[in-house]
C-alpha cells in the first residue's frame, strides 16, 4: 500500500506540472505586457519544479525510493570525534526536517563528557535512501577544538552508514542460532518504564560480525523485532554491494564498496569550506551545510554516478 501510494503521488506530480506548463503556454498566447511579471514568476517556478523532478529521476536504483536507516559512528579521538558525530547527527536530522521526512532515533550511545559515540536513525519519506546513499563513508572535520584549552586545530573523523529500510520486503532468512541476543536497560529517554526494565536489545550476528542495538521502542518485543529488521537491512546491503562489486569486475571496473575512504571534508579553520572528494563539489557556506543544506552535494554525487558530471 505504501508503494502504491508513492506511485500515485509520483504520477500526480508529473501530471500536475504538465497541466501547469500547458496553462502557461496558453496564457502566453493571450497575455499582454501587464501579465509579463506573473508569467516570468510562473515560468521560474515551473523550471525549479522540473529541475527537482530531474533530480529525483537520477534515483533509479532498486531501493532508491525506500526509507533509510542511517548510522553515525565516532572515529578515534575521544571527545573530539564524539562531538563531531553529534554534529553530523544534527545535520542529518535538520536535512530530514527540511524535506518533511519523519525521523526516529532507534539507538543512541552517549559520549564520555560530550557528544555521542554512535546513533542509528530511521528516516521515512519518498526517496530517503536515494538521497542519503551519497552520505555513506567517512566524514572529516578540521577546526579549532572547543575542548582544547590551548585552542589548537584538531582533525576528527566519523563514519556514516546508510542502508535501505525495506523491512518486510527483505528475502533474507536469519538462523537465530547465529545471533547472540542481549537485553539491557535503555540509556536513552523514554520514561521510568524504559529505565526500570530491560527493554533494550542488542543483536550480534556471529557469521558477519554485525552488531545492532535498538532501545527506542516501549517493549522488549518491539525492540527485538525492530533490531532484526535493521539486521536484515544491513545484511541485504552487504549482499547487494558484493553483487555490485562482482558485476563491476566483470566489466573491468574497480569499485570501492567499503566504508574506509574519506568522502567529504568540513574545514572550519583556517578557512571555511566543505568539499566532497568524489565529485570535487564544494562550498564556503559551512554553516548552511552543517544546518542540513546537503542537496547540492547529493545531486552532484547522483549526477557523477550516472556519468552526467557534477
Q: pLDDT, tens digit, for every residue of 79-132?
A: 999 999 999 999 999 999 999 999 999 999 999 888 999 999 999 998 999 999
Buried b (16+ CB within 10 A) or exposed e, 203-230: bbbeeeeeebbbbbbeeeeebbebbbbb
11, 86, 135 from 4: Cα distances, Å:
11, 36, 28
Helices (H), the chain: 2-30, 36-57, 79-98, 128-132, 192-196, 220-250, 286-290, 295-305
pLDDT of residue 135: 96
Q: pTM for the full model? A: 0.77
Q: pLDDT, tens digit, for every residue of 139-192?
A: 999 999 998 888 889 999 999 999 999 866 667 889 989 999 999 987 654 443
Q: pLDDT, tens digit, for every residue of 213-258?
A: 999 888 899 999 999 999 999 998 888 888 777 656 654 544 443 4
pLDDT of residue 309: 57
State the CATH architecture for 176-234: 2-Layer Sandwich (3.30)
Residue pair 37/31 in contact by the 8 Å Cβ criterion: no
Q: Cα separation of 105 and 223, whole Å?
A: 12
Question: How many residues would you count in the chain?
Answer: 310
Is the domain spanning 67-169+251-305 CATH 3.20.20.140? The answer is: no
Amino acid at each position: 500500500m505504501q508503494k502504491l501510494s508513492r506511485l500515485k503521488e509520483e504520477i500526480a506530480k508529473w501530471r500536475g506540472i504538465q497541466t501547469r506548463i500547458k496553462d502557461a503556454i496558453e496564457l502566453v498566447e493571450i497575455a499582454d505586457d501587464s501579465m509579463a511579471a506573473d508569467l516570468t514568476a510562473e515560468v521560474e517556478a515551473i523550471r525549479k519544479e522540473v529541475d527537482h523532478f530531474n533530480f529525483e529521476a537520477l534515483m533509479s536504483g532498486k531501493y532508491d525510493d525506500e526509507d533509510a536507516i542511517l548510522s553515525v559512528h565516532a572515529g578515534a579521538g575521544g571527545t573530539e570525534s564524539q562531538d563531531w558525530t553529534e554534529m553530523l547527527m544534527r545535520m542529518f536530522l535538520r536535512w530530514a526536517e527540511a524535506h518533511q521526512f519523519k525521523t526516529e532515533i532507534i539507538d543512541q550511545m552517549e559520549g564520555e563528557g560530550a557528544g555521542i559515540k554512535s546513533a542509528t536513525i530511521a528516516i521515512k519519506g519518498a526517496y530517503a535512501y536515494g538521497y542519503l546513499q551519497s552520505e555513506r563513508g567517512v566524514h572529516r572535520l578540521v577546526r579549532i577544538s572547543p575542548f582544547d584549552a590551548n585552542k589548537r586545530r584538531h582533525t576528527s573523523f566519523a563514519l556514516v552508514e546508510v542502508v535501505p529500510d525495506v523491512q518486510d520486503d527483505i528475502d533474507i532468512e536469519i538462523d537465530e542460532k547465529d545471533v547472540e541476543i542481549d537485553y539491557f536497560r535503555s540509556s536513552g529517554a523514554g520514561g521510568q518504564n524504559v529505565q526500570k526494565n530491560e527493554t533494550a536489545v542488542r543483536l550480534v550476528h556471529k557469521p558477519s560480525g554485525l552488531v545492532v542495538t535498538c532501545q527506542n521502542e516501549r517493549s522488549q518485543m518491539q525492540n527485538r523485532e525492530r533490531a532484526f529488521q535493521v539486521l536484515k537491512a544491513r545484511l541485504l546491503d552487504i549482499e547487494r554491494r558484493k553483487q555490485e562489486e562482482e558485476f563491476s569486475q566483470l566489466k573491468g571496473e574497480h569499485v570501492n564498496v567499503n566504508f574506509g575512504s574519506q568522502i567529504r571534508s568540513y574545514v572550519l579553520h583556517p578557512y571555511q569550506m566543505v568539499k566532497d572528494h568524489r565529485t570535487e563539489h564544494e562550498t564556503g557556506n559551512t554553516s548552511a551545510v552543517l544546518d542540513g543544506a546537503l542537496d547540492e552535494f547529493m545531486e552532484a554525487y547522483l549526477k557523477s554516478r550516472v556519468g552526467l558530471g557534477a
